[in-house]
Amino acid sequence: MPTSLVTGGAGFLGSHLCEALLERGHQVICLDNLVVSSLENIEHLRAEAFTFLNHDVIDPISVEEPVDFVYHLAALASPIDYLRMPLHSLKTGSYGTHHTLGLAKVKRARFLLTSTSEVYGDPQVHPQPETYWGHVNPIGPRGVYDEAKRYAEALTMAYHSQQGVDTGIVRIFNTYGSRMRPNDGRAIPTFMRQALDGKPVTVFGDGSQTRSFCYVDDLIRGLVLLAESEEHLPVNLGNPDEKTLLELAETIIRISGSSSEIIFEALPVDDPQVRQPDITRAKQLLGWQPEVELEDGLRKTIASLGHGTAVSAP
């Protein structure tokens, strides 16, 4: 039975990953400080093969048992969180990545860093391939997250090249699904909360900026495939089906059966205008591509909320 340690394991993506690994027969150690996550996400995982550690990755990590895989998901990924805790965001990307890489080195484990499409910043290349170095403002408000992840990638490659650690890097594009926090400030949970409550749906700018949304089940499948591969260079995982935020808001209002109107507010500083992954490498290396269509995934997500608003038929 392989053992996997998942940092940020009680969060949105982390809890789904823990669940998937248990289903694959892994012993799972879930490590989380519960600052932006919840024990409710992992209550159903309480089993002999599952262990929870309340721990912050910015502090050294000590695990007695052997570990085969280290999945480093811990991060303050929501703008609301990293703007509220900028230093903690930077420390999670730096100290946290250093400590988890050190653990992987000691345990001779395969290490997977979950990086982000935010390393591309407000891109001048579209769609974004892994060879693109990005267009990031290091001193802007988003820099505490973007640069934390860019540093984490550099540290991961240094541990691979100089320390011989078996590492991989995934750059995750916008992902959605059950267990997202309704007030985390990102587009899909915000639009859903507003639409299901019958309140105006808030779109920043004119809504022409684009994003690509991947359903969580597709993303987790890709994470496991990459962790179990021998690839060391970054790999994009995301859905290349690009949508404007206005289109997304209109779709959520329609399928939720809401009568909400759309209102527009000022665009945040350094907000990317476009975002679309080039997933050529994921297809070639992993045989991976997303399978869940946006509307199907949105319906599943709304259904998981248990809200009284009816979801319209396809």
User: Among the options 145, 159, 176, 215, which is catalytic?
Assistant: 145
What is the distance between the alpha carbons of residues 13 and 219, in angstroms, rounded to a whole number? 9
Stretch (H or E) spanning 78? none
What is the distance between the alpha carbons of residues 296 and 254, in angstroms, rounded to a whole number? 13
Structure tokens at 294: 């946006």
Collect all residues with Cβ–Cβ distance below 8 Å to 71 and sequence separation of at least 6.
4, 5, 6, 7, 14, 17, 112, 114, 223, 227
Residue 145 a catalytic site member: yes
Q: How many CA atoms lie less than 13 Å away from 121 in the CB half-sphere?
A: 21
Contact by Cβ (8 Å): 300, 178:
yes
Structure tokens at 89: 């965001």
What is the distance between the alpha carbons of residues 279 and 172, in angstroms, rounded to a whole number? 11
Residue with tokens 């982390």: 14
Residue with tokens 């639009």: 191
Rounded alpha-carbon distances, angstroms, from residue 245 to 85, 143, 180, 229, 278? 26, 22, 18, 34, 19
Q: How many CA atoms lie less than 13 Å away from 241 in the CB half-sphere?
A: 15
Closest-CA residue to 277 (of 153, 170, 173, 134): 173
Residue with tokens 């998937």: 20
Contact by Cβ (8 Å): 18, 49:
no
Instruction: Tell me how crowded residue 285 is: count the other CB atoms within 10 A of its CB.
Output: 15
Please identify every residue annotated as catalytic.
Answer: 145
